[in-house]
Amino acid sequence: MVASQIESLSLTQVAQQTRRAASQLAVLSTEDRNQALNAIADALTQATPEILEANQKDLDAAEQDGISPALYARLKLGESKLQSAITGVKDVAKLADPVGTVQINRELDQGLILQRVTCPLGVLGIIFEARPEALIQITSLAIKSGNGVILKGGKEAINSCQALVKVIHQALSNTKVNPDAVQLLTTREEIKQLLALDRYVDLIIPRGSNSFVRYVQDNTRIPVLGHADGICHLYIDKSANQTQAVEITVDAKTHYPAACNAIETLLVHQDIAATALPSIAKALIAEGVELRGDTATREIIEAQPATEEDWNTEYSDLILAIKIVDSVENAIAHINTYGSKHTDAIVTQDNTVAKMFQNQVDAAGVYHNCSTRFADGFRYGFGAEVGISTQQMPPRGPVGLEGLVTYKYKVTGDGHIAATYTGSNPKAFTHRNLNQ
């Protein structure tokens, strides 16, 4: 369905339509889904002039509204960004199929076989920022994983999103994927309605500001994949290699301060603080980082005073809070109190301390002697990332395509009934694992 048609349907009807199309998509072969992805890539290449023209409309409107240069840069698609997004679609086509993996293959009794097989979730609801190429990436991940998708992009990108979805629908109409599997919402009011559709939508992935993600988490019964905060810590143990301590701190703080895997708080063991902190501070200041420290820190280096609020803050900026601790236990306690279970790291040459830290810090990622910035689906080798989850239950941490599938148990027998295996003379199960 083209975007203009959606307006005449209620969101419930749109979701039902998506669900029907998703049911068909779910049972297509790997080849059919990959073919659809390649058709989208080709259509986007051919339609490049129209897409860039629609993007220019968004840019003109944004300029009139006076949006910030950073948002403008995100909104601007341009030929090279579009080209690399198209390459991304082809790359997703080449990834291993997350659907149809046999996770358990077990004989329960002669002729009674249990298989646990991965299958699509159903319909995804994805709300993303005003970055047109995100729509391309999300759509390709949804189709690859056999899911329908209801998209809502940032309002500044409305013309770009509509142009992209039009091209995607045209491309899909020549493939086995029903174009209804990809839907675009265009108004902010629809987000609230979308969050209420727990009968038709199986997973919500919100991208954007922390407050927005929290709003989504608090306003839906649909499972949410995402994280509100990324309060990551680096702990410099008394047995740290000081060169590594400086390099890892600088990388984790300054390499991309707006990323969720950048650190916000540095914890330093008191026995190494006097020697390590000055060189760390010097390197950070050279990169333009503002330092805030507790009393003990400020006795060693110059820094603004840090308050309780600092330990709870994701700056997403060139600011770092520093605290001196008297033990690895207290470093762990601080992290488990103030952290957001995203990614925390230790620098130490003492493997016993490192092991303790990695076992006891409760976070999706716990690192030793490397930067927190490695917390990323591509860097982990997942090929594509659908988001980073800080919830306790799996999927946790950077989530690849596996976060977009679930599984079902298929049992096949030949008239087997449960009564055979109970009562006074029960038959025993064999529970024999078969080759997968």
Minimum Å gap between C-beta 312 and a copy of itself is: 14
Alpha carbons 428 and 411: distance in angstroms, whole number: 17
Span from 41-49, 266-274, 313-321, 414-422 in contact with a copy of itself (CB under 8 A): 414-422
Site for a copy of itself contains 419 (CB under 8 A):
yes
Site for a copy of itself contains 352 (CB under 8 A):
no
**Which amino acid does the sequence have at 34?**
N
Span from 49-57, 71-79, 295-303, 350-358 in contact with a copy of itself (CB under 8 A): 350-358
Site for a copy of itself contains 428 (CB under 8 A):
no
Contacting a copy of itself within 290-329 (CB under 8 A): none
Alpha carbons 355 and 374: distance in angstroms, whole number: 19
Minimum Å gap between C-beta 418 and a copy of itself is: 3
Q: For residue 109, what is the enclosing H or E element?
A: strand 102-109
Alpha carbons 280 and 251: distance in angstroms, whole number: 11
Site for a copy of itself contains 27 (CB under 8 A):
yes
Site for a copy of itself contains 63 (CB under 8 A):
no
DSSP symbol at 13:
H
Contact status, residue 399 vs residue 342, Cβ threshold 8 Å: no
Contacting a copy of itself within 327-346 (CB under 8 A): 336
Site for a copy of itself contains 2 (CB under 8 A):
no
Site for a copy of itself contains 415 (CB under 8 A):
yes
CA-CA distances (angstroms) from residue 189 to 155, 186, 194, 244?
11, 9, 9, 49
The arrangement of strands across the sheet holding 203-206 comes to 182-185, 148-152, 123-127, 203-206
DSSP 64-104: HHT--HHHHHHH--HHHHHHHHHHHHHHHHHSPP-TT-EEE
User: How many CB atoms within 10 Å of residue 139?
Assistant: 24
Span from 41-49, 63-71, 90-98, 239-247 in contact with a copy of itself (CB under 8 A): 239-247
User: How many CB atoms within 10 Å of residue 52?
Assistant: 18
Q: Is 279 helix (H, G, I), strand (E, B) or coil?
A: helix
Is the preceding omega at residue 120 within 30 degrees of 0, hence cis? no
Closest of 11, 9, 383, 432 to residue 189, by C-alpha: 11
Span from 75-83, 87-95, 105-113, 126-134 in contact with a copy of itself (CB under 8 A): 105-113
User: Pairing state of beta strands 290-293 and 203-206?
Assistant: unpaired
Taking CB under 8 A as the criterion, the residue among 9, 61, 102, 108 binding a copy of itself is: 108
Taking CB under 8 A as the criterion, the residue among 61, 67, 71, 114 binding a copy of itself is: 114
When the beta carbons of 22 and 59 are compared against a copy of itself, the nearer one is 22
Contact status, residue 141 vs residue 384, Cβ threshold 8 Å: yes
Minimum Å gap between C-beta 286 and a copy of itself is: 15
- Please give the size of the binding site for a copy of itself, defined by CB under 8 A: 72
Site for a copy of itself contains 255 (CB under 8 A):
yes
Alpha carbons 220 and 201: distance in angstroms, whole number: 11
Partners of 104 in beta bridges: 116
Contacting a copy of itself within 115-174 (CB under 8 A): 119, 121-122
When the beta carbons of 253 and 292 are compared against a copy of itself, the nearer one is 253
Span from 23-31, 81-89, 162-170, 271-279 in contact with a copy of itself (CB under 8 A): 23-31
When the beta carbons of 31 and 362 are compared against a copy of itself, the nearer one is 362
Contacting a copy of itself within 190-229 (CB under 8 A): 202-203, 217-218, 221, 223
Alpha carbons 355 and 358: distance in angstroms, whole number: 5
Minimum Å gap between C-beta 147 and a copy of itself is: 11
Taking CB under 8 A as the criterion, the residue among 367, 385, 386, 399 binding a copy of itself is: 367
Partners of 116 in beta bridges: 104, 409
Taking CB under 8 A as the criterion, the residue among 157, 204, 266, 366 binding a copy of itself is: 366
Site for a copy of itself contains 379 (CB under 8 A):
yes
Site for a copy of itself contains 96 (CB under 8 A):
no
Site for a copy of itself contains 176 (CB under 8 A):
no
Alpha carbons 373 and 396: distance in angstroms, whole number: 16
Minimum Å gap between C-beta 362 and a copy of itself is: 7
Site for a copy of itself contains 57 (CB under 8 A):
no
